[in-house]
Structure 1
């Protein structure tokens, strides 16, 4: 009798692990089942049809920017536009947009971009206003159009968050909820989103954000955050400020895309399962082709922090676009990745930075278990160049990645090591931060004293 409690506990734990494992397999199956569709081709000039769309829309005029401004000034108008769905009722252009929208991202982003290029910049700008829900999340749609569409989506979603979703009750008749705080503070902030889904991740949201000017920056990077990368988490703003610290220091030479456009794990248990990173990695790899197509041949760095390192690592098992890869306190090189030959491009330039005593080191390099763990230790991986972490800045006014004074915390100039080093590598003007910046700008970072063995196949 005395062992029954323990047996029940063990059986429950095994059942939970089995369910999580099966959920991981399901997530992978869903990703693998996605098929590409053909991108429509317009046979006729869509100018007249687009004019008719504008006439029936709640915003008008001859200037798409003025129409966008009008939509952003009135949440009701924004909501009406967000609710609009393209259909074949308007003609060939409407049917083509409906086909693109219904494909749900299962399209070649380069072909989608060609479709919009054929329409022209002004026509595309109008479609972003008239059908923001369709354009905002469409891989391949021009980035300026997606950012404009997401402004309208943000306005409408923020207003909608003040309503009660349940049936009317006596106490809700004249009441309003406060708007979702993480959305409300974005209104008028100037932050730019290529994707913004407040409802993904069980209502906690997901996003792709541009920090800096993608049009003019000489160097571009993609930053994949660590765990709990959802709109409702402090990580949403934290990774924006981390990216912004590098962009601000680059004097216009750098733009960073913060990529968190997938279901995201939270906590050590979920983050240890590989299925999350594997599904995210496939989407990330596809995004890099869209990004490369729209930025041209400018140097492109793919970097991931913590769990984000597992995502970029597994993404390298697919074809992707990146000139170099940077693992920042990374969980690993990707599930079942233990050799450069496991990657589609074994000789791509790779860097890694992990401070001594960072707790991430306990999970780096775990032996292979299906769907568990994240592969090889980035700091020991053949051919990787490991960066020195050094010390935090001791300059007057030096701050951490929340903007808090290092001097007030008593850590100015301290060696970057230990539990807090997982974040300290991002503290502006520190040695680790500077070495990361040098990589992003194609400079000359300081390497650690000890380096992994070279990849002889690439010499």
Structure 2
């Protein structure tokens, strides 16, 4: 329904808010009740026989039924709250615009048209009218969207009153959705995709309600179903976490942020990094959208694959962003922001890939960034997920190029996946830890794949890149450990592999929080450019994904009062190690003299080649 402005002025949306709270409270009551029932029958350990078996089976059925009802109640609660927040914001916006216009002498019609007796005010009247009509458009969109969702949920609740209804299969037969979900889990991804393609949207939705924990992470399941299933899984994880006696407040905050609407990345401008990094939800505005997860698990440090933006025909490219060391679910806010800004600037979907545990330490040999085990574990999963992206692209946007961007440890994951057969149109190693943990070359089935890399001068990852897998022995002195992310065939430095085009990390923008207009350099140069969407490095990532242009590498001489990186140092392990040692020694000396906050890379000055690199075409 599209309201008139006078009608909107009478809307009382608080009832919608209370309805959502009531649905959530009832979902919690139901969940606790079925959990108590399940625990009670399990505790009857001394009771045996047919009656016990029959009672256990019946209780299991009702517990399953209770969880399915809980799922729909939580969906009602979330949709009601999202509708309340969105409609409330749009209502406030429209009424404030009306008040401003009337206060300045304009006449506002009930349908949002604006006039003024003075012809010279025609332009201002047009601005007010545009604002009012856009607000009314948003109200109509939200009302239609959430009205349909809530009607659908109420229909699902009515249909499952006496149990989850059977679904119709492609051959016309009827079958219990739980049994179908079990069958799907035993299929190959290709067979699964074929089977699900034959089901009606209604049957697909009933499958999701019946078994979201199975369907959310199964390859071969269409992304739209996985997204719907994982929205349920995130809700259930939040409910479970809140019910724990010693709940993880950081996890609660993160799960709540995952369920909160975000600004639509299509043309909304830059998303601020601070709010997301601290777990704060976005400020409501017109055009908010739900976050979308095609994989979610609370296993380990928390895992997810988030799709930011839409898979659609006409998008210039699809991007997959694999972050690096210290990535985990609770601290993924800044990664989400980077993916959002990439989606905003490229106009295509960006997948934030976190389907596994990342190292949380920079130094631990067994459990930190030096260990190849995390890359070896995640690389096969990335290959499999790449096939799912290709399946979705083929169905929705045929011919759209797919790019993979690996940052730091994520570069090793991407390189290792390509060694195992990851298909990609473009690969970008951004401050990458290495070429891959296996002793082979890259085995991309796409013969036309384009590969790019970029590493900032003075970034300590350059020291790691420069040493071969077996290390470096200096006779009579010492041995430097090798790079565990170095392929025996390719070496450890993606910047130096033949066929890889090296791009420039360049300069921070004038809006950078910490280094406005400075050259990207030193330890901050390893990742701070991800927080600056207008920096040279970030723009190069955008250019690779969307297939436009990028800035070619320029080797520069750069110095500070404590470090002097000369021409020829980049890519030379000995020189890079010496530069890093000088910086570390300066920091240690400063700390000993009472200045523990000294940054030896601060205030860099370019001594050679200060101009930007040339522009190259990405095709």
Fold match (TM-score > 0.5)? yes
Inter-partner Cα distance in structure 2 for 1:298 and 1:318: 23
Residue 366 in 1 paired to residue 467 in 2? yes
Inter-partner Cα distance in structure 1 for 2:419 and 2:495: 18
Inter-partner Cα distance in structure 1 for 2:441 and 2:423: 20
Residue 412 in 1 paired to residue 492 in 2? no
Counterpart residue number, 1:247:
343
Residue 301 in 1 paired to residue 403 in 2? yes
Please give the residue correspondences for 1:175-214 in structure 2 after superposition, counting only pairs within 5 Å. Answer: 180-189=252-261, 190-198=290-298, 200-201=299-300, 204-214=301-311
Instruction: Give the 3-state SS of the residue equivalent to 2:232 in structure 1.
Output: helix
Kindly tell me: are residues 283 and 85 of structure 1, through their superposed partners in 2, closer, same or farther at Cα, counting changes over 3 Å? Answer: farther
Of residues 540, 544, 550, the one that matches 1:439 is: 544
Of residues 368, 381, 389, the one that matches 2:505 is: 389
Structure 1: runs of 5+ lacking an equivalent: 1-52, 167-175, 400-405, 453-459
Please give the residue correspondences for 1:310-329 in structure 2 after superposition, counting only pairs within 5 Å. Answer: 310-329=412-431
Instruction: Give the 3-state SS of the residue equivalent to 2:325 in structure 1.
Output: coil
Kindly tell me: are residues 345 and 393 of structure 1, through their superposed partners in 2, closer, same or farther at Cα, counting changes over 3 Å? Answer: same
Shift of 1:240: 0.8
Inter-partner Cα distance in structure 1 for 2:497 and 2:188: 33
Instruction: Give the 3-state SS of the residue equivalent to 1:254 in structure 2.
Output: coil
Shift of 1:369: 4.7
Instruction: Give the 3-state SS of the residue equivalent to 1:327 in structure 2.
Output: strand
Counterpart residue number, 1:95:
179
CA contact (8 A) 2:426 2:545 kept: no
Inter-partner Cα distance in structure 2 for 1:151 and 1:347: 37
Aligned residues: 356
Inter-partner Cα distance in structure 1 for 2:326 and 2:391: 29
Could you report, residue by residue, the CA deviation over 1:389-417 in whole angstroms, capped at 9, with x for unpaired residues?
111112xxx24xxxxxx2xx4x2101111
Q: Which shifted more, 207-216 or 303-312?
A: 207-216
CA contact (8 A) 1:206 1:231 kept: yes
CA contact (8 A) 2:204 2:225 kept: yes
Shift of 1:59: 6.9
Inter-partner Cα distance in structure 2 for 1:338 and 1:381: 13
Of residues 356, 365, 372, the one that matches 1:274 is: 372
CA contact (8 A) 1:223 1:258 kept: yes
Q: Which shifted more, 147-156 or 305-314?
A: 147-156
Counterpart residue number, 2:456:
355
Shift of 1:430: 1.0
Instruction: Give the 3-state SS of the residue equivalent to 2:258 in structure 1.
Output: coil
Of residues 305, 313, 324, the one that matches 1:226 is: 324
Kindly tell me: are residues 121 and 67 of structure 1, through their superposed partners in 2, closer, same or farther at Cα, counting changes over 3 Å? Answer: farther
Counterpart residue number, 1:164:
244
Of residues 379, 389, 400, the one that matches 1:291 is: 389
Counterpart residue number, 2:195:
115
Inter-partner Cα distance in structure 1 for 2:468 and 2:354: 27
Higher relative contact order (CA 8 A, sep 6+): 1
Could you report, residue by residue, the CA deviation over 1:201-247 in whole angstroms, capped at 9, with x for unpaired residues?
1xx311100011123533101111101221122xx111111111121
Kindly tell me: are residues 267 and 177 of structure 1, through their superposed partners in 2, closer, same or farther at Cα, counting changes over 3 Å? Answer: closer
Kindly tell me: are residues 149 and 92 of structure 1, through their superposed partners in 2, closer, same or farther at Cα, counting changes over 3 Å? Answer: closer
Structure 2: runs of 5+ lacking an equivalent: 1-61, 82-152, 168-173, 262-289, 472-481, 487-491, 556-569, 572-619
Of residues 192, 195, 215, the one that matches 2:312 is: 215
Kindly tell me: are residues 123 and 288 of structure 1, through their superposed partners in 2, closer, same or farther at Cα, counting changes over 3 Å? Answer: same
Counterpart residue number, 2:266:
none
Q: Which shifted more, 290-299 or 379-388?
A: 290-299
Instruction: Give the 3-state SS of the residue equivalent to 1:350 in structure 2.
Output: strand
Of residues 148, 152, 172, the one that matches 2:232 is: 152
Instruction: Give the 3-state SS of the residue equivalent to 1:418 in structure 2.
Output: coil
Kindly tell me: are residues 116 and 360 of structure 1, through their superposed partners in 2, closer, same or farther at Cα, counting changes over 3 Å? Answer: same
Kindly tell me: are residues 419 and 58 of structure 1, through their superposed partners in 2, closer, same or farther at Cα, counting changes over 3 Å? Answer: closer
Shift of 1:345: 5.7
Shift of 1:128: 1.5
Could you report, residue by residue, the CA deviation over 1:143-185 in whole angstroms, capped at 9, with x for unpaired residues?
111111111111111111122368xxxxxxxxx8867221122
Shift of 1:87: 12
CA contact (8 A) 1:227 1:266 kept: yes
Shift of 1:70: 2.2
Residue 237 in 1 paired to residue 237 in 2? no
Inter-partner Cα distance in structure 1 for 2:67 and 2:416: 45
Residue 263 in 1 paired to residue 347 in 2? no
Kindly tell me: are residues 177 and 205 of structure 1, through their superposed partners in 2, closer, same or farther at Cα, counting changes over 3 Å? Answer: closer
